[in-house]
Structure 1
């Protein structure tokens, strides 16, 4: 590449995570199999702070919805001893360029610094990755959502995995908070590709030993991988925030914006004081286009909480909100893990249909995408806890039980 291509941009992902945690001088126990009574609850930040100090959370956990099912009890984010773990070697966390703020928050939760990595793009668009510290024999976690621009971020992840493999990392885990191409998980018409399977093959062939993904669009995508997949759910973060709202539990109705999301909405409703369920029936005429037909369930005089895994163009969820208002809903909340926000999503979401739009930071939300009704919650503690458990060979599924 020397001579033919000139470097157009250069980013060095070296973070100062050690300054993040005030408990940096303590050592963390090797095992986390402590009893629930010994754990201390950590509020998950809902203020989307970018400060390097630990945030105390932006809400009060005492509310009328506090009768929720027990949520994960995260231990204190004290430093992880770099030389100890469940046999996977020293722990190292690196960030790609897709969502460095989330990666920094994860490292802060773990009480460690992000690994030093150099990522740049040449004038012809090719990507260059160099690890600037040794990972030989290490348990490496690469934080890189494949959000827009999906192809660039996916290629960057593959090159990061390859760099770690060639640097003799013992274990490589791809931490993908948002898994792009997850919607292309089956053939809807003849002569279509199944891109989700192709991406799974690419990640595996690049050299990843494990994938950690958050709220996959469909559960069957896990089966496309020939390596272990830890599926993390963002529901506890959103439920924890809703518990702070002064809403009477008997006034809440959980709404699925389509038939395909009924299982997700039912699980959400069960944990939200076993709230009743309503379903928006729709007919889709094409990609990113939806037409609402009718509503199954009663929302008159109720607070409707619409639950979906992602908001892309917001066509489905906004048309559903229009129908809910027409059917007499008192207020409509939109809850989603992934905020892709393709145009014209912002116009639809800020049009006044929603009392509040609650999302997480699996996909970075740029400043000009903010609007008054938007609330961004952080999944950093959840992902950080999962990373620690994977590294220390502890159960991950027990977080959500």
Structure 2
């Protein structure tokens, strides 16, 4: 029978917004593919226009966008890209958000507050996303906000391996900067075989981003300490924690976090802190420089590429973290 095209295998398409194209191209190189060409621009009034410049019909499309500043613009752009893919008959659409905006607003602390992380999940579902992939969500419960598969990737192996190469773990203490990070800190201690310390802090709900350190619980005197967190925003938590550890006799203080947000005067604040090194991943673009050279940025691209490959080939994303507790 003539006139019928040969049926082809499904195709993987990596689609990037404008927030952080460098990371998308790095992931594409790991996958040995090209980033899908897209016409992305804004109208005079600021509305975003999206058009894919090649057919996406039947494709397995991965839409990658880190929610960096201006965060609301890049979230809206990613939503519009998902909508365009859905209307162009993509077979499956996976939203890849190395850093998910609004993830800290995952519960109500007081009355009349939103749960913005849930709203984010609902928006992507409404736009047409079938699957969500993110790195180190602020809390694991956010996975339950999206009504579909969620691939929650972890940067712990990447960060912990760096610390292991540069610090004698026999003299190392892992430090949770607050109660919310204790579970993650325990995973670090299990991996590195070193003790755990916890910093008790209290936030003023009327004054966001301000922290008071109350007490350090654990063995830190005469030891190197690594403060672990999911993100560093204004730097207040890390700076206060580093001061508390130094005051209690720590010989060296490092900090390791997945997301380097660095809002406001965070860089200046962190530069003045008693930190030997600050280790992050490149889930967000690092637009400001640290004059001291103490900032170390590790690439998350290989992990993202492996996870995308597993999803595309119907493999196991969990297998990437087998052996992790």
User: Normalised by the shorter chain, which TM-score bucket?
Assistant: over 0.9
Q: Which residue does 1:309 correspond to in 2? A: 230
Preserved CA contact (<8 Å) 2:242 2:273? no
* 381 and 370 in structure 1: CA distance in 2 versus 1, 3 angstrom threshold: farther
Aligned partner of residue 358 in structure 1, secondary structure = strand
Aligned partner of residue 215 in structure 2, secondary structure = strand
2:155 to 231, 234, 240: 234
Q: Which residue does 1:248 correspond to in 2? A: 168
Matches within 5 A, 1:1-400: 84=9, 89-245=10-166, 247-272=167-192, 274-285=193-204, 286-368=207-289, 371-400=292-321
- CA–CA separation in structure 1 for the residues paired with 2:55 and 2:161: 39
- CA–CA separation in structure 2 for the residues paired with 1:353 and 1:289: 19
- CA–CA separation in structure 2 for the residues paired with 1:268 and 1:168: 43
- CA–CA separation in structure 2 for the residues paired with 1:179 and 1:192: 19
Preserved CA contact (<8 Å) 2:307 2:317? yes
Q: Which residue does 2:4 correspond to in 1? A: none
- CA–CA separation in structure 1 for the residues paired with 2:16 and 2:227: 32
Preserved CA contact (<8 Å) 2:130 2:148? yes
Gaps of 5+ in 1: 1-82
The TM-score normalised by the length of structure 1 is: 0.77
- CA–CA separation in structure 2 for the residues paired with 1:172 and 1:164: 7
Q: CA deviation at 1:122?
A: 2.0
- Greater helix share, 1 or 2? 2
The list of structure 1 runs, each at least 4 consecutive aligned residues, that deviate by more than 2 angstroms after superposition, is 367-371
Q: Deviations over 1:280-326 (max 9, x none)?
A: 10011131111000101110111100000000001111101000000
Gaps of 5+ in 2: 1-7
- CA–CA separation in structure 2 for the residues paired with 1:147 and 1:352: 24
Q: CA deviation at 1:244?
A: 2.2
Q: CA deviation at 1:353?
A: 1.0
Q: How many residues align?
A: 313
Highest relative contact order (Cα 8 Å, sep 6+), 1 or 2? 1
Preserved CA contact (<8 Å) 2:173 2:225? yes
